[in-house]
Amino acid sequence: MYRKLSELIIYRDPKGDSILWELGHIFEDFHTSADTHEHLRARVYVQVRRLLELATKYGFDNNLWHNYLTFLLITDENPFSLTYEKAGKQEGTVNRFALNDFRVFRDLFDFDFAPLETELGIDCFSTLSDYHAIAKREQIYNKNVSEKVRALSKRIEQAQNAEAVFDAVTDFYLAYGVGMFGLNKAFRVVSEEHGFSVCPITNMEPICLEDLIGYDLQKQRLIENTEAFVSGRGANNVLLYGDSGTGKSTSIKAIVNRYYDQGLRMIEIYKHQFCHLSHVISLIKNRNYRFIIYMDDLSFEEQEIEYKYLKAIIEGGVETKPDNVLIYATSNRRHLIKETWKDRTDSEINGDIHRSETIEEKLSLVNRFGLSIGYFKPSHPEFDHIVLSLAARYPEITLPEEQLLAEAHAWELRNGGISGRTAQQFVNHLRGKARNNHQ
């Protein structure tokens, strides 16, 4: 195996500490008798454990060895894979080197572990080639990645030669991309001691716009803007503002779910991380996706200055914001920045002789969102409609309509008032009671 891996050119692991390369070293030591059987067996078990951990994380099944090799191919961000992500199949000399590597991977798919297993008295690899995973809830593993890996793995299994593997993998790059941005819908910015990292959100809620009852005009405006964005046409940054619990964040998550297959991705960032905004955008500006930078519950207190970073990014910075990036934010405040009565007059009370100019600077932030969409508390009839519509989705809720609405009104008085969120919480409460009654 080690000799086969040494033939790789484009997909050569630069760190050499992957499961694949560690196994390569094990086989090299096995063939040269450079290690004892006992130690080789222990080294094999370490890599099998790593492979099982990866399989659990991504929900691999059937042939874990094939799934793992496929996972390597679709997560390796190299010049070849990134080019094919953007432009699809191209003529070029690099294809000869790629064919060489795909020939190696095709051989690795059919690699014979039997001599090692027989000599060491183990059956790990035979077991992994016919693996039956324990059924897991979607929240435990990344179903989106799992489905793609297993589908491509099957196609490579059926490939008769390196050319067929080439076509299968490059078709995947063009359809879904490569690396974490190709495989995942959403990401978050994680602050670190010396900077930040962008990490996938692997268990994003599968919410749909249809799940949000009402707010049809608001949803339609958001759809129109997003469709223009993913189609490469002109689109605006969006501010969704209004009362809490009305579906602002739900709408954005649902939009990402709807347009993921068209290349839409979302990166969530918090205001204390705005100093990283320009670096995040530099990371994604040349990728073949459309990115929504998502800012939830956005607002600023009087003394906070992070809004200046945001203003510079949206409009006014030296570097033009790339066409594949938009900002979608939610806020309970229409103007985002807290305003006091003393802001409304020019005075020297607080040392600023041009207070109205100061507040104009603050309020100019909201004007940089080209599209503002209001989400407000429903009326009592609208609240009743939401409750009835949500309850109708669950057959275990059997209360007569009059009793259902009476209990819903009592619930909202005790639990935060009228909103879609309150209606959903009430329905969740009824479902919980229904389950207890059936136990």
List the CATH number of the domain containing 370.
3.40.50.300
- Do 126 and 223 belong to one domain? no
Close Cβ partners of 275 (under 8 Å, ≥ 6 residues apart): 306, 309
- Do 132 and 253 belong to one domain? no
Final residue belonging to a domain, choices 148, 179, 210: 179
SS3 of 282-341: the string is: HHHCCCCCEEEEEECCCCECCCCCCHHHHHHHHCCCCCCCCCCEEEEEEECCCCCECCCH
The token pair at 412 is 């909202």
- Do 165 and 220 belong to one domain? no
Phi/psi of residue 331, nearest 5 degrees: -160, 150
Final residue belonging to a domain, choices 352, 375, 398: 375
- Do 303 and 390 belong to one domain? no
Task: Look at the chain and count its residues.
Answer: 439
- Do 312 and 196 belong to one domain? yes
Nearest residue to 125 (alpha-carbon basis) of 64, 71, 176: 64
Quote the number of domains for the chain.
Answer: 3
- Do 103 and 12 belong to one domain? yes
Bridge partners of 189, per DSSP, are: 198
Secondary element (H or E) of residue 344: none
The token pair at 173 is 């790059």
Q: Is the whole model's pTM more than 0.95, yes or no?
A: no
Tell me how far apart the alpha carbons of residues 334 and 372 are, in angstroms, rounded to a whole number: 9
**For the chain, which residues score pLDDT lower than 50?**
341, 346-349, 353-354
- Whether 152 and 263 have beta carbons less than 8 Å apart is answered as no
3-state DSSP call for residue 200? strand
Nearest residue to 132 (alpha-carbon basis) of 202, 65, 192, 62: 62
The pLDDT value recorded for residue 349 is 47
Q: Beta strand 325-331 with 238-242: parallel, antiparallel or unpaired?
A: parallel
- Do 422 and 282 belong to one domain? no
Tell me how far apart the alpha carbons of residues 314 and 74 are, in angstroms, rounded to a whole number: 33
The pLDDT value recorded for residue 100 is 95
DSSP state for residue 5 in the 8-state scheme: H
Phi/psi of residue 206, nearest 5 degrees: -80, 55
- Whether 127 and 41 have beta carbons less than 8 Å apart is answered as no
Burial class (CB in 10 A: 0-12, 13-18, 19+), 187: buried
Final residue belonging to a domain, choices 154, 179, 204: 179
Tell me how far apart the alpha carbons of residues 114 and 120 are, in angstroms, rounded to a whole number: 10
DSSP state for residue 62 in the 8-state scheme: B
The token pair at 145 is 């990645």
- Do 174 and 286 belong to one domain? no
The sign of the CA dihedral 34, 39, 41, 45 is: negative
Structural domain harbouring 52: 2-179
- Do 126 and 173 belong to one domain? yes
The pLDDT value recorded for residue 425 is 93
- Do 428 and 282 belong to one domain? no
Tell me how far apart the alpha carbons of residues 178 and 377 are, in angstroms, rounded to a whole number: 42
- Do 103 and 238 belong to one domain? no
The pLDDT value recorded for residue 341 is 44
Tell me how far apart the alpha carbons of residues 296 and 268 are, in angstroms, rounded to a whole number: 8
- Whether 284 and 187 have beta carbons less than 8 Å apart is answered as no
Torsion angle, CA of 294/298/303/308, rounded to 10 degrees?
Answer: 40
The pLDDT value recorded for residue 427 is 93
The pLDDT value recorded for residue 348 is 47
- Do 199 and 241 belong to one domain? yes
Helix axis angle, 216-230 relative to 248-259, nearest 10°? 40
The pLDDT value recorded for residue 156 is 96
pLDDT digits (tens, 9 = 90+) for 372-406: 999 999 999 999 999 999 999 999 998 999 999 99
The pLDDT value recorded for residue 101 is 95
The residue whose two tokens read 């207190």 is 301
String of DSSP letters for 371-424? EEEEE-PPPHHHHHHHHHHHHTT-TT----HHHHHHHHHHHHHHTTSSSHHHHH
